Amino acid sequence: MVSAPDEDEPLREPRSCGHLFIVFTRLALQGFGGVLPVAQHELVERERWLTRDEFLEMLSVGQVLPGPNVVNLSLMVGDRYFGVRGAAFALAGMLVVPLIVMLGLAVLYGRFADNPTIAGALRGMGAVSAGLVLATAWKLASSLRKNPLGVPLSLGFGTATVVLVAGLRWPLAGVIAVLGPLAIALAWSRLRR
């Protein structure tokens, strides 16, 4: 079942603020070790509120702003349909129920942290969460084909980011400060036409 959902079906919209709350609660509760892959699956493939391009665009903006990028993404999606109220409901969906679950787990954690079965399960979930993030990158790669920078430059900037962040362990702010202006300036010059 391999399909490119961007092209064939029209986008849908959330019906109400309550609907926003439910969708964001559902996606947050599935996000073990990071909500981003689930957000991509739920918002782009299941609910079809955003195209892959829009998702990557919102994520890029969320990334450079302070605060967790998925939380910033939820604010932008909510605000797009129902203004500040929508942003508040999407944010609440992202945080309220997971926060209750988390505090419940915090109470239990002390008792079960040393259990080898629990520790093993957490390791297995950690491995899957790594794969999920890589899959998200794979899916969003197709959006780079339409980038005004062109494929070679896009891949070049992507690779440079990986080398600096994962290889040389630069702080994120430093990587964005060095590569960001360069990539934006190149995109600016290519958009002249």
Partner 1 sequence: MIATLHGADLFALFVHFLLLSLLAVGGAITTAPDMHRYLVADQHWLTNAQFTGSIALAQAAPGPNVLFVAVLGYNVAGLPGAMATMAGIMLPSTTLALWAARWGRSRKETRGVRAFTSGMAPLTFGLLLSTGWVLAVPSRDSAGGMLLVGLSTVVVARSQCSPIWLVALGAIVGAAGYA
1 binds partner 1 (CB under 8 A): yes
Give the side-chain half-sphere CA count within 13 A for 7.
5
**Rounded least distance, CB 50 to partner 1, Å:** 13
35 binds partner 1 (CB under 8 A): yes
Query: In the set 3, 4, 111, 145, which binds partner 1 (CB under 8 A)?
Result: 3
Query: In the set 6, 32, 48, 51, which binds partner 1 (CB under 8 A)?
Result: 32
Report the residue number, 20 or 75, with the smaller CB distance to partner 1. Answer: 75
What is the DSSP-derived secondary structure letter of residue 145?
G
Backbone φ, ψ for residue 57 (5° rounding): -65, -50
- 52-91 mask for partner 1 (x: CB under 8 A)? ----xxxxxxxxxxxxxxxxx--xx--xx---x--x---x
- 103-132 mask for partner 1 (x: CB under 8 A)? x-xx--xx--x--xxx-xxxxxxxxxxxxx
Could you tell me the sign of the dihedral formed by the alpha carbons of 60, 65, 66, 68, in that order?
negative
Q: Which of 89, 82, 63, 77 is nearest to 176 (CA)?
A: 63
Place of tokens 């195209």: 51
